[in-house]
Each structure stands twice: as structure tokens, then as C-alpha cells.
Chain A
Amino acid sequence: MKQIAVTVNGTRHEAEVEPRQLLVYFLREQLRLTGTNVGCDTSSCGSCTVLLDGESVKSCTLLAVQADGHEVTTIEGLADGDTYHPMQQAFHEHHALQCGFCTPGMVLAAVSYLKENPKPTEAEVRLALEGNLCRCTGYHNIVKAILAASGAEA
């Protein structure tokens, strides 16, 4: 077992983990933050996306020990109290979710992307989502929501 300290959604957690514990299961099973979903479990679908020090990563492809000393943001940590994060608000207003399974990963991937490219074109947004699959194929409204959150016209 290894002792780790990870700051998740602003709260520091100290925990004992097996080295083989994946970050996503640490979040879901040890911290009970079940907003982060496991879809493919093979690094493809992006539904497990969280922010590591502000950047999107697939938490099914990270060991919890690799997050030791770092900051993780999950979908639970995005809103400011009762006020949605602008990206959550945009997803809500543009009906950018159907079953909602891919949504936490889509929102976090989009938050990370707008930090790298604050005013993307529609084509750029589509390319930036290459690591996130929506099994309901709701891509059009997801792209609209991200463009709206960026302040660009959809």
C-alpha cells in the first residue's frame, strides 16, 4: 500500500491505496464521487475524463499514485455552490445531453480545451472532442453548447 495525498475539488484527501488502483476507482469507490463514469475502460471513450492540474485526462488510464500531490477536479467540483459553471449552464441551455452518460467527460474536456483555445471555430471544437464519444450521438448540441460557452456564435 502507498500513502497518497490528492486534492480533489479543493479538498485534500490522504489515503492508502494499492499501487494498481486506477484514479477513476479511487474517485468512485474510495471518495464516492460517482459523477465520473467508466465507459470503455480502454482509454477510448473519454467518459472518465477529469481535470488533473486543470488539464483533461482519462482517469481510467492513470494510477491513483500518479495523482499524488496533484489537484483533481471532477464534475462534482465544477459548480460554485448552486450556480452552474458556465460550461454546465451552456450544456443545460443547448440540450447538450440525452442519456447523460458521456456528459461529465464532455464538460470537463470542453473546460480544459477552452483554456487552451478560448475562441475556437466549430471545426476546432469537433476535433478537440476526438477523445470523447457520445453513444447517443448528440454531438451537434454538444458542439453548440461549447461554442456558446466560448462566447462564439453557434
Chain B
Amino acid sequence: MIPAEFEYEVAGSVDEAIELLGSREDAKLLAGGHSLIPAMKLRIARPGTLVDIGRIAGLSYVREDGDGIAIGALTRHQDVATSELLREHCGIVAHTAGEIGDPQVRHRGTIGGSVSHGDPASDLPGVLLTLDAELVATGPGGERRIAAADFFTGVFETALGPQDVLTEIRVPSLGGAGWAYLKFSRRAQDWATVGVAAVASNGGAKVGLVSMGATPLRASAVEQALASGADAAAAAEHADEGAEPSSDVAGSADYRRHLVRVLTRRALEQALSG
């Protein structure tokens, strides 16, 4: 399978990428290409121009910043998974990056691509939503910060405009708080049939869900039940409230509703004992 024809431009900087996005018909950014190229081969995606940001120096980093950690958008899953800084201060992000696809995918795919793609089955967006992460985007009007809660707007839709480049992902330092990301998939390299993230906080926990609707979701009913004193098992019974999972080859909507309650209980037990 070969993609349809397109023009190819290498962006030397974020500003150049923004300019190219504005001046070319139907242009799309190319980062690791591990969502975009498969879609182009199937001709689900047919961009007129690819603007390759994969060679922009300085957008791949993990560093301490204030009381959190800043991750450059071009940081590959492999480098997120093995970052000592993340392992120590925000282990759930490193752990989850290591659960994505397989080693070859992790050698190419980037955290910025995962977030910008807006795939509801993607692992990191659900974790970033749970962490109340901040996403930094640069567009023709300059830089702005978007809360994860406002970022994921629909299936393959995000708050990014057509000329925006996501440049950084900012996550909090978790201190000693317990966490878990549990992903259930049919085969080793598959996307999550259901994924559940839990991070202990204020005696309760924040809980996020993957593959349970058009966007990653916060399991608010679970969080509220914990806040009112329910234990993990009782709170987890609320996990599918408000979710609208779809049915596909990986599982039916009913199966997902069952699975999410089981995984939420296990994730809470793990996070709250940590």
C-alpha cells in the first residue's frame, strides 16, 4: 500500500512549521508518522502537503520546570518510558509510554503526536487528563496553554487549530502519591480495549478512562464516591456512568462497561495502596 501523492517540506523551526501550515493547501504536520503514515497508506488521510517537524532540534526533552515536569512534544515514547526524571516524579507517564504498541513503534512515535491525533483509544491522553496536565500550543497568535480537560473535543478532534503546533506537555510531580495505569488488550501490541488510570489524591483518587467514549473521560462518579467515603470496590461500580463506549472488534459496548468496572477496582486498589 502506497500513500496518495503529496508535497513534502521539512520545517527547521516551529515558526517555519506554522508558516508552512498557513501557506500550503491541506497541509498536515508529520512527527513520528506512526498514526499518520498508516492512515495515509489506507488513504483514510490524504494531506496535500506534509510538514515534517521531526527534525526540529530542541523539541525533544524531559526537564524539571517549577513544581512539575515539562516534556517536549517530539519526545519519543521510548525516551518518555526510560526517562529517570519521569520515573521518579511522574511514574505513570513513563509506565504508560512503555505500554504503547511495541518497541519499533516506541522508537518512532512521539508524545506530541499521540496527544494531537485525538484518538480515543490512545493511552497517554487518558493519563494526561487524569493528571490535569497542561498542553502548550504555538500558533500564528503566539503561545497558549490548554488544560487537558479542554483539549480533547471529539474522535480525532482536539482544541488545536489548523496552524497550531503542540510544543510541550506539562505534568505535575506526584511526590509519593500512588498511581496505576491498567490496560486490557486482546494482543500484546494492540490499543486498549479499555484503559484505566488512577492517581491517589486528597485521600481519594483521580480516575481517567480510555476507549470508553469519543474522548478520554474522567470517571467523575467514581471520584465522588471515593470522596464520600466509598471503598475501591464500591466506587468502581460507578465507572461506566456517563460513558458511551462503542462496539467494535475488540469488544461490545456492554463488555466494555463490565471491563471498566473491573479495571477501575484493580487500579484503585493499586493506586490507594501505593
Seen from chain A, the residues whose Cβ lies within 8 Å of a Cβ on chain B are 2, 18-20, 22, 25, 41-44, 46, 49, 52, 55-58, 61-63, 65-66, 109, 112-113, 116, 127-128, 130-132
Complex contact B5–A131 (CB within 8 A)? no
Majority secondary structure of chain B interface residues (helix, strand, loop or mixed)? loop
Using a CB–CB cutoff of 8 Å, the interface residues on chain B facing chain A are 1-8, 30, 33-34, 37-38, 40-42, 50, 52, 54, 78, 101-105, 107-108, 188-189
State whether A62 touches B50 (Cβ < 8 A): no
* A61 contacts B33, C-beta separation under 8 Å: yes
- Assuming the A-B contacts A20-B5, A41-B1, A41-B41, are A66 and B33 also in contact, with contact meaning beta carbons closer than 8 angstroms in the complex? yes
B2 & A56 in contact (Cβ 8 Å cutoff): no
Query: Contact between B103 and A128 (Cβ–Cβ < 8 Å)?
Result: yes
Residues of A with C-beta under 8 A to B78: 55
* Chain A residue with the shortest CB-CB distance to B106: A131
Q: Report B43 CB to chain A, min CB distance, Å.
A: 11
Chain A neighbourhood of B2, CB < 8 A: 20, 22, 25
Q: How far does the Cβ of B29 sit from chain A's closest Cβ, in whole Å?
A: 13
- Would A57 and B104 count as touching, CB distance under 8 A? yes
CB proximity of B195 to chain A, nearest CB, Å: 17
Assess the B6–A131 pair: CB atoms within 8 A.
Answer: no
Whether A49 contacts B104 by the Cβ 8 Å rule is: yes
Residues of B within 8 A of A41 (CB): 1, 41
- Besides the contacts A42-B1, A109-B104, what 9 more A-B pairs have beta carbons closer than 8 Å? A20-B2, A22-B41, A52-B107, A56-B104, A57-B107, A58-B108, A61-B34, A65-B8, A66-B30
A-B contact pairs, 11 of them (CB 8 A): A20-B6, A41-B41, A43-B105, A46-B104, A58-B108, A61-B34, A61-B108, A62-B33, A66-B52, A109-B103, A131-B103
Q: Which residues of B lie under 8 Å from residue A132 when comparing CB positions?
A: 102
**Closest residue of A by beta carbon distance from B102:** A131
Quick one: closest B residue to A128, CB to CB? B103
B104 and A58 contact, CB distance less than 8 A: yes
Does A43 lie within 8 Å of B34, measured CB to CB? yes
The 8 Å CB contact of A19, one of B1, B8, B105, B108, is B8
Q: Are B34 and A19 closer than 8 Å at their CB atoms? A: no
When C-beta atoms are compared, the residue in chain A nearest to B98 turns out to be: A127
Residues of chain B lying within 8 A (CB to CB) of residue A56: 103-104, 107
Of the candidates A19, A20, A46, the one whose C-beta lies within 8 Å of that of B102 is A46
Tell me the bound Cα distance from A25 to B189 in angstroms.
24
Q: Please name all residues of chain B whose beta carbon is closer than 8 Å to the beta carbon of A61 when the two chains form the complex.
A: 33-34, 37-38, 108
| Nearest chain A CB to B84 CB, angstrom units | 15
Question: Chain B nearest CB: distance from A45 CB in Å?
Answer: 10
Cα A113 to Cα B38 in complex, Å, equals 24
